[in-house]
Structures are given as structure tokens and as C-alpha cells.
């Protein structure tokens, strides 16, 4: 879990930096929106990754499976939107939905894991 928490913290740093750059350093409105969207979705899933640690401590051991999905989603979804904002070829946009599937898989795993939370834990 230490690795996932460290990667989540680094991803959170990148998401905040990307959001700030979108607000203050990017002139093109489309590029701003791409960076904002990637930053928002990335940061939400960084927080979801961090939320896995207490769930594991409450007995939801399968919550250990969610961080790889969430962080892969951040890399693919947010990363591809960031790349597009900085002028990457349009075909990079085909990667974005794969990241979205990573997000969905992470949430599905968390729903599955939550069934193991012990009352009063």
C-alpha cells in the first residue's frame, strides 16, 4: 500500500500543478478545458486511492486491488488529456476512454470490497 500512497501523492501534486497551469498559464480555451478536466478527474481518483487505506484497515482487504486501477486511470485519462492540451496528435485521445475504464474498474472493485467492511471496525 505504501507504493500506491506514494504514487497517489505524486499524482496529486501533478494534478494540482496541471490545474494551476490551466488557470494561469494556458491561453487556449480548449487546452485549458482539457487540463482542467484531466486535473479534476485525476485528483478525485487520487483521493479515492487514499481512501482505500482506511477501508483495508476496516477489513475490506480487496480494496487493495482498486489503487492500481485508479492510478492507471489517472495516468491514461488525465495524462492523455494533458498531452492533447500540449499539442499531442489527436489519436492520443483514443487512450482517454481506456483510462476511464480504469476509473470504473476501481470503483467496481471498491464496491465489491466494501462488502467485507466489518461493522464497528
Give the mean model confidence (pLDDT) for residues 62-87: 97
Does position 1 have pLDDT exceeding 90, yes or no? no
Does position 121 have pLDDT exceeding 60, yes or no? no
Q: Compute CA 63 distance to the chain's CA centroid, rounded to the nearest angstrom.
A: 15
Does position 94 have pLDDT exceeding 90, yes or no? yes
Does position 26 have pLDDT exceeding 70, yes or no? yes
Q: Look up residue 64 and give its three cell numbers.
A: 487493495
Output the pTM of the full model.
Answer: 0.93
Q: Please choose, from the candidates 48, 29, 50, the residue with its C-alpha nearest in 3D space to the C-alpha of residue 102.
A: 48
pLDDT value for 15: 96
- Supply angle C-alpha 38, 108, 33, rounded to 5: 10
Does position 21 have pLDDT exceeding 80, yes or no? yes
pLDDT value for 120: 67
Does position 73 have pLDDT exceeding 60, yes or no? yes
Give the mean model confidence (pLDDT) for residues 46-61: 93
Q: Which stretches of 10-70 are assigned E, i.e. beta strand? A: none
pLDDT value for 5: 92
Where in the chain are the domains? 2-114
Give the mean model confidence (pLDDT) for residues 93-111: 98
Amino acid at each position: 500500500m505504501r507504493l500506491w500512497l506514494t504514487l497517489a501523492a505524486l499524482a496529486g501534486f501533478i494534478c494540482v500543478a496541471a490545474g494551476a497551469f490551466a488557470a494561469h498559464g494556458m491561453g487556449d480555451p480548449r487546452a485549458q478545458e482539457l487540463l482542467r478536466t484531466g486535473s479534476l478527474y485525476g485528483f478525485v481518483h487520487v483521493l479515492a486511492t487514499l481512501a482505500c487505506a482506511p477501508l483495508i484497515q476496516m477489513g475490506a482487504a480487496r480494496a487493495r486491488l482498486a489503487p492500481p486501477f485508479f492510478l492507471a486511470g489517472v495516468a491514461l485519462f488525465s495524462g492523455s488529456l494533458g498531452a492533447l492540451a500540449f499539442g499531442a496528435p489527436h489519436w492520443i485521445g483514443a487512450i482517454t476512454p481506456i483510462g476511464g475504464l480504469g476509473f470504473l474498474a476501481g470503483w467496481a472493485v471498491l464496491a465489491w470490497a466494501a462488502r467485507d467492511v466489518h461493522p464497528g471496525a
